[in-house]
Each structure stands twice: as structure tokens, then as C-alpha cells.
Amino acid sequence: MWVFRRFNHTHFPQISEFRLLPQYKLKCGLEIHTQLDTRNKLFSMSTNDPFHSANNPNLHTSFFDIALPGTQPLLNYEAVLFATKLAIALNCRVNLDSQFDRKHYFYGDQPLGYQITQHFSPFASQGHLPLYRDIDGIAEINKNIHVAQLQIEQDTGKSLYKKSEQITLIDLNRSGVPLIEMVTEPDFQDLGQIRAFIKKYQNLVRHLKISTGDLETGAIRVDVNLSINDHARVELKNLPNTSSILNAIKYEYLRQVRIIEDGMANKLLSQPETRGWTGSSTVKLRGKETTIDYRYMPDMELPRIKLASDVVETVRKTMPPSPDKVLNTLISEPYRLSLKDAKILCLNSNGQGEMYNHEELQQFYLDTFHSYAYRVKEGIRANNLSKLPTNWIIHELLGDLNKLELPLSKITKVLKPKIFADFLMLIHNNEISGASGKLLLFHVLKTLKETNCDACASIDFDSLIDEFDIRTINQIDDGELEEICQGIIESIKNEKLINDIASGKKKNSIKFLVGQGMKLSQGRIKAQDFEKSFKKVLDVKW
Ligand SMILES: Nc1ncnc2c1ncn2[C@@H]1O[C@H](COP(=O)(O)OP(=O)(O)OP(=O)(O)O)[C@@H](O)[C@H]1O
Ligand SMILES: [Mg+2]
Ligand SMILES: [Mg+2]
């Protein structure tokens, strides 16, 4: 008979205030399925576009994709190339002689009656992806996540359940789309590592241009395997996004801890089981008793994938440097960017929208930096060299483009890095003040937008600052400046304040006077010159 036991653990954490309990060690491994962005499907010439064709079910289907008898698979080598790139990026050992196997199970969106995957001899194995505290935000200084294996396989179609009509609709646009299943070792010990790994992996596949890397569209799907204190592992499926992944782990951890505390582990945690995520709890999908026997067998219709011994090295040479390497370059000499700024140039972030992609931004930054650095006179310390490019590209320019809803790619044809470097030189040489520079840059970008970024236009910042009469006055006659300051002091009509500044009672308020001067001169006269002159006029002794 079942006895319902009440739990009265005093400090039992809830999901909202989740923390790991030291006596209950979490152990997690991930299985990540990634859709490859090849032009065609894995074994047919159908277009590989499962996401955009969602409104046109069964549009991209060949006879093979719908499993018409007599049709045979033909391997798409682009998928093999993409898999090789991922294997290299994950530091795997590429198997020069791998093979396809059939994994049998019956389902409506799986018309062959089996999935073609790699079971006995996968494409790559024994890899690792390092995580770092600095770069990835994990709690430890670094942590290596080992990759057990990578296998190439085909995706299934999609089932759409129409409950009211009691029918299931089948869309085979996704059937046969190439996937890579990447399996990690159970190396994860906390949520921070899992979050960091998924983000890093997602960025990696985008960087390699082998997948869109989106969780929302299902281009990346993550299954989590979790166990506590060496009890049986539970596999969690149907986790559509990062927050579901993390919440499902929290829920499942707490559920298992309760079972152990209640002395029920022998009964409930002795056999592996598969659970799904409802959005608020995990539910059992199947246990040991209903484990599917997939009857794996080699696929006789597909020859083994035999790679020449130099293939790996040849592919490696075509690959871009890893994201970690690019980040490290940007935070070192001569750029010396902060990690935060370097990440903006290296990573896809959700906030950037349609305004730029990080690759074109990185290119624009580097080209501008080099053009500017080349012209800056000797003597400037290297860590100052990136100050202007960083402030004016990463902060000012991106902000303006967002405000104007103007994509970076549209302006760089006219506002070339060399011209942007001209602009930086004007600020560097104090030809214009920062405040005027901001207004000028915005004006130029706005004009570009209004003229639809006419490629014939050329931008000459030097003439523009004359046209708008905003060139800084570097050498102003002392007497003339003192007269201006005197005028400001009189116009303020606040004798007490002026006396307090002069006596040193309100030293800081001199900034207010300087501000008035800057406003009056529209930033053309330098703040330091104003301060000096005000002090002289007020006969300041402090
Ligand atoms: N004790 C454990 N605790 C948590 N995770 C574990 C444990 N042992 C293994 N795992 C993880 O379970 C996963 C096993 O995945 P794998 O693809 O090899 O097998 P599977 O899940 O049985 O097969 P399928 O692909 O059909 O789901 C790996 O991510 C591995 O790290
Ligand atoms: Mg698996
Ligand atoms: Mg699994």
C-alpha cells in the first residue's frame, strides 16, 4: 500500500530560491542536437529549410524523405564538412572511418520506420570545450567539459496534434534535415556551468556558420541527464529554451533530493527514466520497463564515411580562429579592450537586433583602430590607443544606429573605417570637443539615413566642422576669456554662490560656472581653460 508521507524539512529550498545542497552532489551530462544549415538535406537534394517553410507543410520533400519504397539515401558531403568543423572546434578526435546505423522505432513523423544515425562507429569522439570564469562567467577559474562523441544523424518530421478533430497532421519538411548529436560526459556540477556551456556552444556553431544556433526554432535542442549522489540518471526531454532547461534541472534536483531524504531512492531512483517538462514540473515519460529496443544495425544502403588522413588538417586551415582566441586577442596589446567591450565585438547578443552582426562590427572596429593608430603620433601609450575607437564605435556609433534604426552595413560603404578614423583624429587633436563630436556624428548618420546612404556621397569631417563653426578654439586670448567669464558671473546674479566659490566654501560649484562657459561657447573652448580663467577672475586662493 502507498503511504503518503508529509515533508517537513526545515530548510528545504524552493525553485525560486534554488541552491545546491552540499550533501547532494549534482551530476549532469548533456545531449545536444544541432540542425546543420546545409543547402540540402542529409540524404536527398530537398531544400533544407524546416523553419521558414513551416506554413507550407511538406513543401521540401523528395521521394526519399517520404520513404517511398525503392528510394535510397545519398550522403550530402556538406554535412560531413560541417561535422568536421564542429569536431575540430570541440577538440575531438575525428574518426576517419565512421558508419551509419539504423535506429528503429515506429512513429508517424518517421516514415522510414527507423532513424539513420551513427551508433557503432560515430563521427568523432574524445573532445573537450574549456569554460573560463573570466570569459564564460562560471564560478571556478576554469572547467573542462569533455565531449564523449559527435554523431551525424537525420531529423524527423513534425507531428501536429489536432485534439478536437482527433487527427495528427504530419509535416515532413524537417524529415532528413542533417543533425549532429553531441554528447558530453557527465561533467557538469552546477547550473552556472550548464548555462555557460550552452551559450558557448551556441556561439561556436554560429561562429563556424554551420547552424543558426537558435533554441527557439529548435535548431538546437538540449536533453539533460541528471543524477544525484550516484543514483540512477534521469533524462529530461522537451526543453525548448534556456530557462526551461535550468528550471527543469532545479525542479528535478529538488524532486530527487526529496526522494532520497524520504528513504525512497531504492524504489524510485534505482532505474534510469526519461521525463518531460510541462513548464512547471517534470513528468515521467518512460522508465526501464518501457525502454525501447532500437534494434540498431548498420545501414547497408550507405557506404562507410572514409576520410583521407589529411582532411582534418585541410579543414582546420579554412577555419576562423576560435571565439576564445579572438577575445584574447582583443583584450591584449595593442587593443586592450575590456572583456565586456571585447565580447560585444565577438559574440552574438540578443539585443543587437537587425542593426549589425558582430563580424562586421569587429571588422569595422579593427580597420578603424588600425587606421587611427597608424596616424596617432608616437608616444601615446598602447592602453590609450583603444580609448577613442571604443568610445566612439562601441558606445556612440552603435547607440546612434539604434536610435536611427540604421543598420551598420548600410553606412560602412560611405562612412568607411578610414573616414571614421579621420573623425577620431579630430577629437584626438582637440579640434572639436566631445560634445560637438556627438552632435556631428549623429547629424552625419541622420543625413546618411535621409539620403539612403548614397554611395557617391563622401564625408569630410574636417570641412563639416568649419561649416558648422564648431572647431575648438585652442588659443584664446587670456583677456578675452576673462571678459567672457566676468560676463557669466554677472549674468548669474547670485552673489552668495560666487562668494562661496571664491572663498573655497563651495569649491565644487566652480564646475557650474565652467558648464555655463561651455554652453555659451558651444564646447569650443576647453573646460580647463575656463576653470583657469574663472579662478583668476574670482581671485581664488584655494
Ligand atoms: N550518472 C550520470 N549522471 C548524469 N548524467 C549521466 C550519467 N551517466 C551518463 N550521463 C549522461 O547521459 C548521457 C547519455 O547519452 P547517450 O546519447 O550516450 O545515451 P542515451 O541517452 O541512452 O541515448 P539516446 O541518444 O537514445 O537518448 C550523456 O550526456 C552522459 O553524460
Ligand atoms: Mg543520445
Ligand atoms: Mg539520451
- Tens of pLDDT, residue by residue over 278-314, are 999 999 998 877 778 899 999 999 999 999 999 999 9
327 with 452, same domain: the answer is: yes
191 with 333, same domain: the answer is: no
Please report whether residue 495 resides in a domain: yes
Please report whether residue 15 resides in a domain: no
Q: Report how far ligand 3's centroid is from the alpha carbon of 223 (Å).
A: 7
Is the bond preceding residue 69 a cis peptide, omega within 30 degrees? no
80 with 151, same domain: the answer is: yes
pLDDT tens column, 136-183 = 999 999 999 999 999 999 999 999 999 888 999 999 999 999 999 999
Q: Report how far ligand 2's centroid is from the alpha carbon of 345 (Å).
A: 34
Return the H-helix or E-strand segment holding 30.
strand 26-35
532 with 512, same domain: the answer is: yes
Q: Provide the percentage of residues in the chain whose pLDDT is more than 90.
A: 65
106 with 216, same domain: the answer is: yes
Report helix angle 510-520 to 478-492, nearest 10. 110
59 with 157, same domain: the answer is: yes
Average pLDDT score over residue span 500-509: 88
How far is the C-alpha of 185 from the C-alpha of 28, rounded, in Å?
Answer: 8
Tell me the three cell numbers of residue 307.
576520410
106 with 199, same domain: the answer is: yes
435 with 525, same domain: the answer is: no
Final residue of a domain: which of 425, 445, 467?
467
Q: By mean pLDDT, which of 183-187, 252-256, 443-447, 480-484 is the weakest?
A: 480-484
Our mutation pick for probing the ligand 1 site, out of 233, 253, 269, 285, counting the most ligand atoms within 8 A of Cβ, is 233
Helix, strand, or coil here: 285? strand
Are 76 and 210 within 8 A, CB to CB? no
455 with 518, same domain: the answer is: no
Please report whether residue 542 resides in a domain: no
Which one of the ligands is nearest to 228 CA? 1
Final residue of a domain: which of 444, 467, 490?
467
How far is the C-alpha of 160 from the C-alpha of 171, rounded, in Å?
Answer: 8
Domain extent, residue 502, equals 478-537
Determine whether the shortest distance from the Cβ of 26 to ligand 1 is under 6 A. Answer: no
Under 8 Å CB-to-CB from 494, ≥6 apart: which residues? none
Tell me the three cell numbers of residue 59.
513543401
Please report whether residue 239 resides in a domain: no
31 with 176, same domain: the answer is: yes
Q: Tell how strand 124-132 and strand 101-104 pair up.
A: unpaired
498 with 461, same domain: the answer is: no
**Chain centroid offset of residue 424 CA:** 29
Residue with the smallest CA separation from ligand 1 atom 16 is 183
Please report whether residue 243 resides in a domain: no
Is the bond preceding residue 320 a cis peptide, omega within 30 degrees? no
**Domains held by the chain: number:** 3
The pLDDT value recorded for residue 519 is 80
Which atom, in ligand 1's list, is nearest to the CA of 149? 18
Please report whether residue 238 resides in a domain: no
Number of residues that this document lists for the chain: 542
Determine whether the shortest distance from the Cβ of 276 to ligand 1 is under 6 A. Answer: no
